[in-house]
Amino acid sequence: MPKPDGGRRGPLRVTAYACRVQKRVWASIAGLAGFLVVAASQLALVVTPVMLVLSTLPGAAVLRIGLPVCIATVGVMGYATWRALHLRRPEPVGIPVTRTDAPELWSLLDGAAGVAGTRAPDRLTIVADAAVKVIERTRLLGLAGGHRDLYLGLPLLQAWDTARLKAAVAHEIGHFSPRGGRLAPIAYRGRIAVGRVVPRIPRRNPAGPLLRAYARFYRRVDAPFSAAQELQADLIAAEYAGAGAAAAVLRDLPALDGMLRIFHAEYLGPGWQAGHVPEDVFGGFLRMLAARAEEVAVLRAREVLRAGEPAAPSRWDTHPARADRLAALAALAALPGSATPAEDSSSAEAPAALELIPDLPGLGRALQTVAFPAQGRTAVGWDEFFGAARVVEMEREAEVALTALSRVAGNPIATAADVLDLAAEGRLPELAESVFPDLSADETASRIADLVTLLLALAALRSGAARWRHSWTGTAELVAPDGAHLNLGELAALAVDPATVATVRERLTALGIDVSAGPATGVAQPRAEVVGGVVNLLVDGARTDVLVVDTGLVLVPGLPRSQNGSAKRRLAEFAAADIPRRTAIAPESRFVAYADVAGATQVKRRSWDIRLRDGATLSVRAAFDSGELPGGWTAWDEAVAFLSRTR
């Protein structure tokens, strides 16, 4: 984007700038076409010597030797090159919205395309992410265009006003503007295609090293024009929606994306893992934004401060520094006589969805069915959803503690009644000291009080004498059915003393709490949270895939080496499946709970011994073809470190 010069540019300066832009475009296009030249050249380097050798052989030998040699050399390299440059077309999950469904929203897209001087998207899809992007179905690494899709995040429709939406959409469509030259859209398409292809080239692909080396050269050649093209897209957004709105998008989008991650981690994730799904996922996100408006404002302010800090973009990120983009928009807004609206819409809070989408709640429910499929989970209201998640978390904590107590006591301890019996006999402190030998007396007493409080709360919930009252802004509170405060911590403190255990039982009975109440029967157990996975390990000499979950290790019999290419896909499918589906995928899988592990030792660099409490030992070592799901080795190393410590 040209720098402002008092609102005018001399003809010579404009011509010089246009020439520089054209040179950058041609350099980018030439670099892009070079990928195909490099691919053809390295294939020719394989074909030529093979043909020369075959030409020296007699006719009969050519047929007998030539075909296998060609398959082993030319065929392998040709297939490897095709695999390296093959562009997988992403298909984000969402709900298509036609012009009939939302004419006002489509009018907004048409207006953005008109300002950019390009065609409007062929299809509009509403997705669950806090993002907006245009994906064109290209061929030949972007040299040939195709169908153009725009993906718009429902969270943006919920949270932003029309000006922000116009700016965000115009920026994305502006990438395809011919303002930087007729070939500028091709340069952008190619940059995106190469950015998707090159990082996915397998390390063992024989065509990969040369293509990756050329990609580094192409990135340096294309960098000047990619930065100019992003600034040009900002200019188009400012022309269509106002410089203030374009700047507000740069500040607000990271904050909104951060709130969405908080929503998934703190509000949606726990109940989802517990086997439930909210009846209205996106309605809950909107309620969270309203309840935590001050936190959203803090995140926005933080993003303003971070704009001046050097960013750490990905290798193929095409965006210049955010501070430079904001400075360019501020300079544009300050131009005297500028036709670009400069009003700052950052203070506008009215969402645009009501005027752009006739039935936003209905769209949210439809999107939920495809973005968050229930897959056997129970649909409940948000209050029940949060309560179920908290109960599952409590039961997991209680199970770990009670398993440890049962081990040192020599008999099963399953409920609050069992623990109160131990307290009445005076054995509870002694057992706790055996479980936590490294803690002081005060710390051990604190652990006992926490455990008794947890077990009494579970007994109250199982007896129907308590419920969780959720807050969108703070922590949940355990209350009586009528909403009155329920102070179980005081009773837990009394229960530690053998002399007052009987009094505690009487008070609990008066509150309607059955201390012998156990988990409900016939209820499907929630799926443990998956942390990571490693394929093709050797466990006691057998090929095994290992799924690391928050409560233990799932050992899945591995596939034969002939099916090695399917190992990661199968383990990923296994990790995403519910319990019945997992049984169908790998019926002989075995779960090793952390509570059943006595310790772990690293024998060699990639070899471990895991000692079980029943005296058995699992010998685990990596094989030459071992691989990982994203974060798999890190999850495994953390699990081994946890098992190696005193627990």
Residue 69 lies in a domain: no
122 and 230 in a single domain? The answer is: yes
List 277's β-bridge partners, or say none.
Answer: 379
Task: Give the DSSP H/E element, type plus range, for residue 588.
Answer: none
Question: What is the model's pTM?
Answer: 0.74
**Same domain membership, residue 149 and residue 279:** yes
Question: Per the structure, how many domains does the chain have?
Answer: 3
Per-residue confidence (pLDDT) for residue 76, from 0 to 100? 66
Q: Where are the alpha helices (DSSP H) in 410-500?
A: 416-425, 428-435, 441-462, 488-495
Q: Tell me the per-residue pLDDT of 14-45, one tens digit each, with 9 for 90 and over.
A: 344 445 556 677 777 787 788 788 888 877 77
Buried b (16+ CB within 10 A) or exposed e, 149-179: bbbbbbbbbbbbbbbbbbbbbbbbbbbbbeb
Q: Which of the listed ranges 70-84, 206-220, 510-524, 612-626 does the model predict with the highest average pLDDT? A: 612-626
**Same domain flag for 311 and 435:** no
Cα gap 253→168, rounded to integer Å? 9
Residue 65 has pLDDT above 70, yes or no: no
- What pLDDT does 513 receive? 93
Domain of 540, CATH number, reads 2.30.29
243 lies in the same domain as 356: yes
pLDDT at 90 > cutoff 80: no
Rounded to whole angstroms, the Cα distance separating 641 from 602 reads 9
3-state helix, strand, coil in the chain (%, to 5): 60, 15, 30
Model pLDDT, residue 535: 93
Question: What string of H, E and C letters represents the secondary structure of 488-534?
Answer: HHHHHHHHCCHHHHHHHHHHHHHCCCCCCCCCCCCCCCCCCCEEEEE
Percent of the chain residues topping a pLDDT of 90: 29
CA distances from 309 to 254, 321, 455, 561 (A): 14, 9, 48, 48
* Residue at which a domain ends, from 510, 542, 574: 510
Domain boundary among 477, 510, 543: 510
Buried b (16+ CB within 10 A) or exposed e, 489-520: eebbbebbeeebbeebbeebeebebbbebeee
What pLDDT, on a 0 to 100 scale, did the predictor assign at position 333?
72
- Model confidence band, residue 153 (pLDDT cutoffs 50, 70, 90): very high
Specify if 32 maps to a domain: no
> pLDDT by residue (tens digit) across 360-381?
889 999 999 999 988 778 899 9
Residue 108 lies in a domain: yes
Q: Over pLDDT 70: what percentage of the chain?
A: 83
317 and 361 together in one domain = yes
Note whether 243 and 322 are same-domain residues.
yes
* Burial class for 41, CB neighbours closer than 10 Å (0-12, 13-18, 19+): exposed
Per residue in 531-578, pLDDT (tens digit) is: 899 999 999 999 999 999 888 899 999 998 878 778 898 898 888 776
**Two tokens at 329?**
């928009």
pLDDT at residue 343 greater than cutoff 70: no
Q: If you search the block for the tokens 């470190």, which residue do you land on? A: 641
Would you say residue 137 lies in a domain? yes
Residue 10: per-residue pLDDT: 43
255 and 351 share one domain: yes
495 in the same domain as 443:
yes
Which pLDDT belongs to residue 69?
Answer: 65
- Residue finishing a domain among 349, 371, 393: 371
Spatial contact of 230 and 318, defined as CB atoms under 8 Å apart: yes
Q: What is the mean pLDDT of residues 240-256?
A: 90
Tell whether 294 and 393 lie within a shared domain: no
Which pLDDT belongs to residue 500?
92
Is residue 208 situated within a structural domain?
no
Query: Is beta strand 477-479 parallel, antiparallel or unpaired with respect to 132-136?
Result: unpaired
Distance, in Å, from the CA atom of 186 to the CA atom of 608, rounded to the nearest integer, reads 52
- Domain coverage including residue 239: 94-182+225-371
Cα distances from 505 to residues 98, 478, 487, 513, in angstroms, run: 64, 19, 15, 9
- Say if residue 395 is in the same domain as residue 539: no
Residue 334 has pLDDT above 80, yes or no: no
pLDDT at residue 235, as a whole number? 92
Q: Is residue 408 part of a domain?
A: yes
Report yes or no on 519 lying in a domain.
no
Residues 200-216: pLDDT tens digits? Answer: 777 777 777 888 888 88
Instruction: Tell me the pLDDT band of 470, cut-offs 50, 70 and 90.
Output: confident
CA 323 to centroid of chain Cα atoms: 26
pLDDT score at 60: 65
52 within domain boundaries: no
Do 471 and 573 lie in a common domain? no
Query: Looking at 320-465, which runs of residues are DSSP E strands?
Result: 378-380
Instruction: Look up residue 186 and give its two tokens.
Output: 């091709």
Give DSSP secondary structure letters for 2-42: PPPSTT---HHHHHHHHHHHHHHHHHHHHHHHHHHHHHHHH
Kindly state the greatest CA–CA separation across the chain.
103
Q: What is the mean pLDDT of the chain?
A: 82
pLDDT for res 346: 42
In total, the chain counts a number of residues equal to 647
Backbone dihedral angles phi then psi of residue 479, each to the nearest 5 degrees = -130, 165
Give the pLDDT of residue 234.
92
- E strand residue ranges, 57-122: 94-96
Residue 347 has pLDDT above 50, yes or no: no
**Of the candidates 494, 159, 143, the residue with the CA atom closest to the CA atom of residue 293:** 159
Closest CA to 126 of 369, 363, 356: 363
Q: Are residues 482 and 619 in the same domain?
A: no
Instruction: Compute the distance between CA of residue 619 and CA of residue 603 in angstroms, rounded to an integer.
Output: 9
